[in-house]
Structure 1
Amino acid sequence: MENTTQNEQQYEIATFAGGCFWCMVKPFHKYEGVIEVVSGYTGGHVPNPTYEQVCSETTGHYEAVQVTFDPKVISYPQILNIFWESIDPTDAGGQFGDRGSSYKTAIFYHSEQQKAQAEVSKSEIQQNGPFESPIVTPILPAVTFYPAEEYHQDYYKKHPGHYGRYFVGSGRAGFLERNWRKDN
């Protein structure tokens, strides 16, 4: 029993807002050491918000993902790189086809170490590109995270056709290919 508790304590949590949460789950799922990715809402002032409330832009919440990972297998800086390479960190008005405060980007840190690593990571992206525009993604303290409704969880697996059309149609796929792929 004690061993199980020790293993659970070894996991860390990372929380990110990167626009539509449907598009923020799959990038993390493909990495060894990522235990779970949950779609949800954070950063707002209404307890237990619904998707409809968050979309109304009245709750202050971001659509976000909470990533549980094993830092012995994948580090927080590696998790940060996955996040950066899944978004447009220069867009202050939302992400791709999704506009409004609930679709803005943010890193929510769970410790002073995460905060420091996020700040270093953001600075490196600003200095080394691939963007000339300022990086506007804020680094904020983590607050209560509310899991989204079940039909939003692992959306890319449940509705691969719709997810694929959305991922391309929103402009995200093309942007990521143009700006983040190392072989360009």
Structure 2
Amino acid sequence: MRLNICELLGEMRGDSMDNNEYQLATFAGGCFWCMVKPFEGLPGIINVVVGYTGGNLENPTYEDVCTKKTGHFEAVQITFDPVQFPYTRLLEIYWRQIDPTNPTGQFSDQGQPYRTAIFYHNEEQKAQALQAKEILSKSGRFKDSIVTEILPAKMFYVAEEYHQKYHSKFPLRYGVYRQGSGRDAFIKGHWEQKNEQDSLVEDSKENDKKREKKSKG
């Protein structure tokens, strides 16, 4: 039996999560194997787990989700310290991992579980996600419309253990899959070969400055 991530963290900490300390961020970006490494190990990132969210079946298994009939997204849920690593920076990393213009999936994986979405846990996250999406839409970086959904967070079910930190457990398989999926080529073509210091990045940094100023004031 799997616990939802809030229950899991409560057991690990011995109490409920303190909203004044760590926060949660939940992102769907296609195959969840590829969405862990970009966040893992960064200062202020406490934990990254993969799982299923947004669906209509309790305690889904990987096999259930793969039927593409449960409504779930493959997603990552990140526990982070907003003082060390603000949510705007998480958004900045997230957008660079996906094709936000594809409404049916990501790269070689198509269907409901592989669609992109940002699941917000509070109104501040919602506002920041919507703002980042609007800025990216107006940046001209992509020819097609940005279709990544901004949705309220729902129950998150932690995936089976063999899916956790897949890139570390099976580095060869992970590397072959990632390259073959077309994800890396897309990222290189849309970010690494273009000016990365666009309005989305600059706006994110400006928001961080305002946040720091507000906390000091």
TM-score interval, normalised by the smaller of the two chains: over 0.9
CA shift, 1:6, in A, is 11
| Superposition RMSD in Å | 1.7
The separation in 2 between residues aligned to 1:143 and 1:6, in whole angstroms, is 18
SS at 1:106 equivalent: strand
Q: Equivalent residue for 2:209? A: none
Match of 1:180 among 156, 168, 191: 191
Q: Aligned to 1:124, which of 95, 117, 135?
A: 135
Which residue in 2 is equivalent to 1:106? 117
- Distance in 2 between the 1:129 and 1:26 partners? 27
Runs of 4+ in 1 over 6 A off after TM superposition: 4-7
Match of 2:53 in 1: 42
| TM-score normalised by structure 1 residue count | 0.94
Q: Evaluate the alpha carbon distance shift between residue 169 and residue 113 of structure 1 in structure 2; reply closer, same or farther with a 3 A threshold.
A: same
Q: What SS is found at the alignment partner of 2:49?
A: strand
Partner of 2:105: 94
Which residue identity lines up with residue 165 of structure 1 in the other structure? V
Q: Percent identity?
A: 55
* Residue-pair matches, total: 181
- The 5 A counterparts of 1:99-178 are 99-178=110-189
Where in structure 2 are there 5+ consecutive unaligned residues? 1-13, 196-217
Q: 1:152 corresponds to which letter in structure 2? A: H
CA distance in 2: counterparts of 1:65 and 1:40, whole angstroms: 6
Residue of structure 2 in register with 1:51 after alignment: 62
Q: Deviations over 1:20-73 (max 9, x none)?
A: 000000111142111111000000000000000001011100000001111111
CA distance in 2, matches of 1:116, 1:62: 22
How many angstroms does 1:128 deviate by?
1.1
Other-structure match for 1:60? 71
TM-score by length of 2: 0.80
Which residue does the alignment assign to 2:32? 21
Structure exhibiting the larger radius of gyration computed from Cα positions: 2
1:135 Cα deviation (Å)? Answer: 0.2
- Displacement of 1:5: 7.4
Q: Partners in 2 of 1:33 and 1:13 — Cα distance? A: 12
Is the alpha carbon distance of 1:6 and 1:150 closer, same or farther for their aligned partners in structure 2, counting shifts above 3 Å? closer
Query: Residue 129 of structure 1: CA displacement?
Result: 3.6
Letter in 2 for 1:24: M
User: What is residue 76 of structure 1 aligned with on the other side?
Assistant: 87
Deviations 1:80-108 (A, max 9, x none): 01110000000011000000011000000
Separation in structure 1 between the aligned mates of residue 18 and residue 37 of structure 2, nearest angstrom: 23
Q: Distance in 2 between matches of 1:126 and 1:71?
A: 26
